Structures are given as structure tokens and as C-alpha cells.
Amino acid sequence: MSGTCDMRCVLVSKSLDLRGYLGPEFVHAADRIEIVSHPHDGPAMDVRLAVAWHPPDDAFEHYPNLQAVCSIGAGVDNILACPSLRPDVDVIRVVDPAQAQMMSGFVAWHVIGHQRRFATYQAQQREQRWKRLGLDVRRAQDVPVGILGFGEIGRRVATDLASLGFPVMAWSRTAKPAPHGIRAFDGAAGLDAMLGQTEILVNLLPLTPETRGILNRRTFGRMYRGGYLIQVGRGEHLVEADLLAALENGQLSGAALDVFSTEPLAPRHPFWCHPRILVTPHEACEVSVAAIGTTFRATVEAIRAGQRPPLTIDRTRGY
């Protein structure tokens, strides 16, 4: 390690060139930190910090003095799933209000698309057919939206949809006070109560053992018939066969899917060509490199001061 540096940070990803992604500004702005890429040939003892996204299974075995791993996104499931991550290592997420705003726009587009039946107009245009939908055009206030997850992003999505006039409900693990115009639900009974009043379901949960597979036949069956799914959490939340069945039997009228259990989505996957599924490539929103940098600097400062980094997630909860 060079004389002016007191810490080494390793960049670890099997899916992304993190050095290129974060850019020279991030690397050079790291005050008194040497940034190296995994696999790292030099002495591994000085590596106390990692920035990671989908790390290889054995990645963290190489760094016995690792104290903290920073995600480059809001979700940390890909880091927690790494078998070589020791239980005592802190995992740090990013909170980026601009990311939440971007997600909110993405969700609103799909919500309004379902409410205003944009798919019907697109089909009519292909046939050069001028047909007004008349009384079939519904007001926002008649289309209730249920949001799974009432955290940093879910709260922003809920508030913005409420301001557009939709009746908004949001579900969390622990009871939450809800801002004006939003109804809050929690726990298993709260989920059933919310689903029973939901036409559009937005998934904004973290992936944990409790939430894996939550978008399933039972969940869809409790929603209004002809409902719509906006899936922007993680692919493993969804039981794919149950979605296809719900679309087939009319329980759901459509779905917007941004995340998949295997990414990129496999060629010839039935979702690609399904007439009522809209696929986007995990791009509902992005954390900015500036926000990653802010979190990183706060993490370094905390480690230097012998404190817990501010955005450390709770490893027992999994988010």
C-alpha cells in the first residue's frame, strides 16, 4: 500500500467491470484509499473494504480482514447470497432519492398504462381503427394500487401515485404511520386485507427468505379479477408458472416485469413473446455513481472512526 493510504478497497463483481462502471472520478476521489480489483495479487491483509455487485462465490475468502462490503444498489441480496461472506462483515446499501424518483416515474407509467388501457389503443392503431373507449375509460380514483414494500423507494412511489389520484395502499413488515392519502398495512393479515382491495400490485420488496416466491397463485388469487402486476423487486419473488397461469385464466390481465430470476432473460423464455407481458431489462431505475460515492465516503469515515457505517443493513432481517 502506498505511504499516503491507510486502507485498501477491493472491487468485486462477476457481472460488471466495476472500475469502468464507477469511473475515474470515484477511484481518484477515494481519499487515502487504494482501490484494487478482485482477484487482487498484492497483500490481501490490508483489504478492509469491498465494493461489490454479484460477487463470485469464493471472493471474500481472500480477504481475512474485510470489515465492510458496499453495494452499488439499493438491494443487497446478491451480496448476502455469497457463501464466502463472513457473518461479522457489515453490508452497506445505497439510499438515493433520485433513484426512488426514477422508479416512481417507471411505476406511474405502467399504472396509468393499465388504467387508461394504452395496450388497447396500441392494438387499435395497428389496425388503423378509430374507436373511443367511452365509459370504459376509468378515473384514477377507481383503480386501487397495492404496494409491497413501504421503504425508501416504496414510500416515494406511494406518495407520487396518491398525488395522481390513485387510492394507494402499502404493505411493510412492521407497522408504519402512513402519510395522508395512503393506507398502511403490515404482517400476514395486513397482506390479505390489502390484496383483497388491490387491482394493481407493485412489488418493491427486498429479496429475503420471507419474501422469496411471494408473487404466487395465492397472492394473485386474492387481488381483484383482471388485476395487473408491476414486478420491480427481484426475479425470485415471482413464481413464474403461477403468473403464466393467472394471465391464462384471466385473474390477471397483464404484467410489467423488470427483474427476473435469471438475468439476462433466457432466449425463448415464454415471457418474451407473451402478448400481455411487458419486459424491461432490469432498468426501472439506477443508483447514481454520485450516490454510491457519498455512501462509500460515509462508510470509510465510520470505519476510520471505529463506528458502524450509517447504511449498514440488518443481516438477520436480510435487508
150 lies in the binding site for ligand NDP (CB under 6 A) = yes
Spatial separation of the C-alpha atoms in residues 98 and 291, rounded to whole Å: 9
CB-based burial label for 248 (10 Å; 0-12, 13-18, 19+)? exposed
Spatial separation of the C-alpha atoms in residues 243 and 213, rounded to whole Å: 11
Contact partners, residue 313, CB within 8 Å, separation at least 6: 76, 91, 92, 93, 319
Angular region, 308: left φ>0, alpha ψ -120 to 50, beta rest: beta
C-alpha cell recorded at residue 230: 408491476
Of 33-41, 82-90, 198-206, 220-228: span binding ligand NDP (CB under 6 A): 198-206
Note if 110 is an active site residue.
no
One character per residue 10-49, x = contact with ligand NDP (rule: CB under 6 A): ----------------------------------------
Contact positions with ligand NDP (CB under 6 A) in 275-314? 282, 284-285
The one among 9, 22, 34, 75 contacting ligand OXD by CB under 6 A: 75
74 lies in the binding site for ligand OXD (CB under 6 A) = yes
Spatial separation of the C-alpha atoms in residues 253 and 218, rounded to whole Å: 16
Cis before residue 264, ω within 30 degrees of 0? yes
Task: Choose between 152 and 186: whose C-beta lies nearer to ligand OXD.
Answer: 152
One character per residue 268-287, x = contact with ligand OXD (rule: CB under 6 A): -------------------x
113 lies in the binding site for ligand NDP (CB under 6 A) = no
Note if 282 is an active site residue.
yes
Type and span of the H or E element at 278: strand 277-279
Spatial separation of the C-alpha atoms in residues 52 and 11, rounded to whole Å: 6
The residues binding ligand NDP (CB under 6 A) are 73-75, 149-154, 171-174, 176, 204-208, 210-211, 232-234, 258-259, 282, 284-285, 319
Catalytic machinery residues: 234, 282
The residues binding ligand OXD (CB under 6 A) are 73-75, 287
